[in-house]
Amino acid sequence: MNVRVKHYKKGSYIYLEQNNALDDFFILQKGEIKITKFNALKGDVEEVKTNGYIFGIKQCITQIPEGERVEAYTDCDVIIINKNQIEQLYTDSPKVILKILSEYSEILRNLDMALLEKDLLLNFMRRDEVILDIADQYISINEPGIAAHLLQSYVNEKPENITNLDKAKEKLKDLPETKVYKTDQAFDNKLFTPNQVIFVEMEQGDSFYMIRTGKVKITNIRKGKQVLIAVLNEGSIFGEMAILNNKPRNATAIADSLCEVSIINKKSIGNLPASLFYNILEHLTHRIWMTEKILFCMDLHNPVARAYYLLAAKVKQNVKKNDMINSGYVFHYKSTLEELYNMANITDAQKDLMYEFEKDENIQIYDNTIKIRNIKVLFDKSSFYLSRSTIKQKSHK
């Protein structure tokens, strides 16, 4: 495959903040680059990267513009790869794609850890204690089935720490009996019933999943509260991070409806078609983009600003560019209001402050759908509450 290599002089820009998404992504072959990211709360955030760094791939795959500019910090040579070349790149140089997948799965894992404020807990030296703590948290919120799944999976590992193994077995005596589904087959299909646990955070993983039919919820437990991260639909991929970087699951997956999933064992990862790897990369970049938005959202003090910001982010993630500029475009977000509030970390006490959002004539709330009548009006409202919230927060610093 022919790829372009371009030389950039020190101080020249590789790309600027875009109104349009990128058609290419980049690999730094030689030299250093400086990446500047805009943050409405913190201002510009700068970082310098060196040889081998991969950048621009999030904007290229998701096709969502970002407030980010990249300049040559020294004279540098940059490999430029068009998005249409990614599948061919996997066929010609699978190690490059596997490196990209591994690095981006680690980026997402770190973002999830930041979201959960568990940086020190997710340490292999303390994994046994973390498992017991997570199980206790699920028991405390009346989710014994999730706790039982995690503890049974841990017991099935036959861990060396006998003390914690005995504690897990003791807890299981008071929990519903559960079977943890495992398969040694390279490919398998399984039907999950509504609310059935697929896997739990901190469980060891040797497979990833693709939804054939139905929906799957991705959640975390945080400070005794189950936090919704995403609701995945048909065609979505999940659970890939555990097999790409050989670390425990960092989220919990639960069937949100009757659903059939394909289970792909990591032993077959070298034989997967290029199109599936592209799907995994697409999933990772979308998850990274959305998790970054959720993290920023958590820093906003005003719950109304959080709801508008997150809903606008969902529109940007799901609406095509041509529809985005159509002021009359109507968007249906397949979610309940409670799920949106959960994702935006809006507490029960803060729900009394959500009158402006819930009475917005541009937003119609149904049982399982939130309808936005005009997405431009939504973006304007989101920008208004965001600016008001950030100005107020900065004035209190």
**pLDDT tens by residue, 347-390:** 889 999 999 999 999 999 998 899 999 998 999 999 999 988 87
Rg (CA), the chain: 22
Q: Percent of the chain, pLDDT > 70?
A: 93
Tell me the C-alpha distance between 360 and 381, whole Å: 10
- pLDDT score of 315 more than 70: yes
**pLDDT tens by residue, 117-144:** 643 344 444 788 889 999 999 999 999 9
Instruction: Please give the pLDDT value at position 114.
Output: 75
Comparing 183 with 365, the larger pLDDT belongs to 365
- pLDDT score of 209 more than 70: yes
The two most distant CA atoms of the chain are separated, in Å, by 66
Of 40-44, 189-193, 230-234, least confident by mean pLDDT is 40-44
Site of tokens 């290029």: 274
CATH-assigned architecture of domain 4-84: Sandwich (2.60)
Instruction: Please give the pLDDT value at position 397.
Output: 55
DSSP assigned state of 353 = G
CB 255 within 8 A of CB 193: yes
Instruction: Please give the pLDDT value at position 122.
Output: 45
Beta-bridge partner residues of 261: 190, 211
- pLDDT score of 256 more than 90: yes
- Segment 32-45 shows an average pLDDT of 88
Beta-bridge partner residues of 190: 261
Type and span of the H or E element at 6: strand 4-8
pTM: 0.78
Type and span of the H or E element at 96: helix 94-116
Phi, psi (rounded to 5 degrees) for 3: -125, 155
CA torsion angle for 396, 360, 318, 288 (degrees, to 10)?
A: 20
Instruction: Please give the pLDDT value at position 121.
Output: 43
The residue length of the chain stands at 397
Site of tokens 């020249």: 12
Domains 4-84 and 108-279 share a fold: yes
- Segment 247-264 shows an average pLDDT of 92
Tell me the C-alpha distance between 198 and 175, whole Å: 17
The domain spans of the chain are 4-84, 108-279, 300-395
Type and span of the H or E element at 365: strand 363-365
Instruction: Please give the pLDDT value at position 67.
Output: 85
**pLDDT tens by residue, 330-344:** 899 888 898 899 888
What count of other Cβ atoms lies within 10 Å of the Cβ of residue 138? 24
**pLDDT tens by residue, 55-89:** 999 899 998 888 899 999 999 999 999 999 988 88
Q: Percent of the chain, pLDDT > 90?
A: 46
CATH-assigned architecture of domain 300-395: Orthogonal Bundle (1.10)
CATH class of 108-279: mainly beta
